[in-house]
Amino acid sequence: MKNNDLIISKAQEFFNELKPDHLNVNVDDIINLLKERLDKGEKSYGRQVPITQSDLTEWTKIHKKDRDNIQESIEEILDACVYCLAEYLSDESDDYSRSQKEMSKLKNRYMLVVLDNIIYTTFCLFKAAELKRKVNEM
């Protein structure tokens, strides 16, 4: 099985297992977007996402720079934090109807949950990076 297929398979498992029923979101829609992102990355970089140490070594030889999945995750989660904060801070229009304002407030409650999880994830990624450094120093 190819790396991207392994990632999709594990993502399907996690998304189906952890899906909050009350959100009524289609997991297949998320997985399809994930597949599109992986395909786009493979076309851009000419390779699938490296998983094993030999994948990372091969990627480094080809691209002449190291690749660190945890560090890249930190960079991406910080980008997500910026975009989510910008959305949370965006002003609702004075022209909104009462129902639009209520819907906007509900959206912002979800954005707070998202931000809470992004911030927690950022701390976890920093801890994982620290532990990875310790493993590599052994």
Question: pLDDT for 83-119, tens place per residue?
Answer: 999 999 887 777 888 899 899 999 999 999 999 999 9
> What's the full length of the chain, in residues?
138
Query: Which tokens sit at 55?
Result: 């994948």
Structural domain span for residue 95? 68-138
Mark whether 87 and 29 lie in a shared domain. no
DSSP string over 46-90: SSPPP-SHHHHHHHHHHHSS---HHHHHHHHHHHHHHHHHHHHHP
Chain centroid, CA 7 distance in Å: 13
Mark whether 56 and 87 lie in a shared domain. no
Question: pLDDT for 115-133, tens place per residue?
Answer: 999 999 999 999 999 999 9
Cβ neighbours of 138 (radius 10 Å):
4
Residue bearing tokens 């310790």: 134
- Decide which of 66, 81, 102 is a domain's last residue: 66
Q: How many domains, the chain?
A: 2
- Decide which of 66, 90, 105 is a domain's last residue: 66
Question: pLDDT for 1-19, tens place per residue?
Answer: 699 999 999 999 999 898 8
Mark whether 33 and 56 lie in a shared domain. yes
